[in-house]
Chains A and B, each alone.
Chain A
Amino acid sequence: MNVLTIAEATFREAQRRRLLWIGAALGLAFLALFGVGYSLMYREALSDGASFLVEMLSGLLIVGLYVVNFLGIMVAVVLSVDTLSGEVASGTIHTVVTKPLRRWEVVVGKWLGLGAMLALFVGLMSAGVMAVSWAVARYVPPHPVEGVALMFLSGLVVLTLSLLGGARLSTMANGLVVLMLYGLAFIAGWIEQFGAYVRNEAAVNTGIVVSLLVPSEAMWKRAAYLMQPAFLRELGATPFTSASAPSQAMVFYTFLYIAAALAAAAYLFQRRDL
């Protein structure tokens, strides 16, 4: 009840601050651009005799989804970085947490509201990219729903981490920490991929350890792995796809990771002097 009230207010806040409109407008602009580029490339490929057509379509689509995934992570940071810390600093939190509720309900409510927005963003943008692909070339990637869900999970990792940071840190410090962690996960993903390509076990292990610390990039890699045609998966290291795809166990781990980070955020916020 309290959780839903907070979640709804969080969602409405984004609406009233016109975040949703700005996001929608820029999202449409991105989709339009993607559509133009995609159809140009498609026509070019057809006139070339359509060799490697599926490879090209799949590659382009994955690039488009990669951008959506990256934007989703940025949206997750922007939405959540100021959530708790900013409200503590401005004092708007004081009249909220002195109501008949528990502080964890505030944290979980915010998480739900922000998570819903992220889901909306990632879902609509991914659907848009796939719709463009369908309209132009009648091509849809395999496992679209599972892939988009994993992309959402990737953003949700960052969103939850940022909420956790906001429970303790100032907005600026939190933003810095979350972006650094994301950067770390990103680099680690490349190290792991490169390691797999040249069969360097140390590099692979480094990548895996960092992925366990911040599993956001791992979720993208699994999404990209699932959403390319089977024969391409075997080929391996194309820039945005993945030779060493994280397993289903990693997805399970990420669920636990998010739950633990959320619980930690609630605990830290509960213990904090406001």
Chain B
Amino acid sequence: MGKGLGVGGKVSEGAVDTPAIETRNLRKVYGETVAVDDLTLQVERGEVFGFLGPNGAGKTTTVKMLLGLVYPTGGQAQVLGHRPGDPAVMGRIGFLPEHFRFPPWLTAWGFLDFHARLYHMPAEERKRRIPELLDRVGLGDRASTRLGEFSKGMMQRIGLAQALLNRPDVVFLDEPTSGLDPLGRREVRDLIRELRAEGVTVFLNSHFLSEVEVTCDRVAILKGGRVVRAGTLEDLTAGVLEVEIRATGLTPDLVAGLSRWGRVVSQDGARLTLALEDEDVLPAIAECLVQGGAHLYALTPRPPSLEELFVRIMQEEAAP
């Protein structure tokens, strides 16, 4: 997606000691449905923060509360030290909504021009900034095409350009790669990396785990309106180690004995997966198996991928 545009240095504006985003016991109830329940989180400036969760977990509602689109039922939220939706702070924020349909009668240029004017951008700057952004999202030759003729992927790109118009300090991206082909997804990933290099804080809603895994500094996993895990990827995967054991002669007694060290995740004949907390117990496991009469072919520890972790957390949370 072209060159970086030098947003760096903008973070110094305002009170730098406040986090980019902070929520405390944030809650949103629609009628009987609790969309977000007791959400407390903090996103530091310059961080790329992944907000993960299955559909209906409350991701979009949370972003909408952080942007002042939706009013919380309880709790507090601050963005760059201000109340969400405060015009004083909205000029430093960019937002790509998840479900949107931009006015089909506008051209790509007209659409960006309208939004740039809402950011109070002077005419000369708009003239410079708009082509720059169209190039950056790969729509340089589409300035005068009506949005009605855009494909879903092109709409996503023009939406991204719109979110970056004001060189924001904080960008909220709600499912930015939905509707994009694999190439487009990679471009968005590269764009997020560029934003990070420029010091922009990115709040990324996604259920594409691979996307979060490669771009985010920290993640929070949301389920049923609550954060069930939060931290860096290393934090989340720490204390969770899977070891694959390949051995013949695994008697039920032996397998039962393994639960001393960890949980048997699965067993398929000579292949057994054990979840451990610590790799220090690996030699003891090997010893136990050999002494118990099993023939050990392989004992392979591997950290789980975010996807495995995610699926496991969802299962754990489903069974209290």
Residues of A that sit less than 8 Å from B by CB:
1-2, 5, 9, 13, 16-17, 90-92, 94-102, 271, 273-274
A110 to B88, CA, bound (A): 22
- The answer on a CB contact under 8 Å between B106 and A99 is no
CA distance in complex: A108, B171 (Å): 28
With A90-B100, A91-B97 given, is the CB distance from A96 to B118 under 8 Å? Answer: yes
A100 and B90 within 8 A (CB): yes
A92/B100 in contact, CB under 8 A: yes
CB-defined contacts of B105 to chain A, threshold 8 Å: 13, 16-17
Contact B99 A91 (CB under 8 A): yes
**Does the CB pair A5–B87 fall under 8 Å?**
no
Q: Are A99 and B64 in contact (CB under 8 A)?
A: no
Q: Is the CB of A100 within 8 A of B67?
A: no
From B71, B88, B90, give the contact of A98 (CB < 8 A).
B90
Residue from B71, B114, B120 with most neighbouring chain A CB atoms (10 Å): B114
B101 contacts chain A at the CB level, 8 A cutoff: yes
Report if A2-B118 is in contact (Cβ < 8 Å); known contacts: A99-B90, A100-B90.
yes
User: How distant is the Cα of A273 from the Cα of B252 in the complex, in angstroms?
Assistant: 57
Question: Given A91-B97, A94-B95, A273-B71, are A101 and B102 also a contact pair (CB < 8 Å)?
Answer: no
* Min CB gap A10→B, angstroms: 11
B224 within 8 A of A: no
Q: Is the CB of B95 within 8 A of A100?
A: no
B residues less than 8 Å from A99 (CB atoms) = 90-91, 115, 118-119
Q: Which residues of A contact B103 (CB under 8 A)?
A: 13, 92
Q: For A91, list chain B residues within 8 Å (CB).
A: 97, 99-101
A residues near B99, Cβ cutoff 8 Å = 91
Across-interface contacts of B70 in A (CB, < 8 A): 273-274
Given contacts A5-B117, A274-B70, contact A98 B106 (CB under 8 A): no
Complex Cα distance, B97 from A96, in Å, reads 11
Q: Does B162 contact A (CB under 8 A)?
A: yes
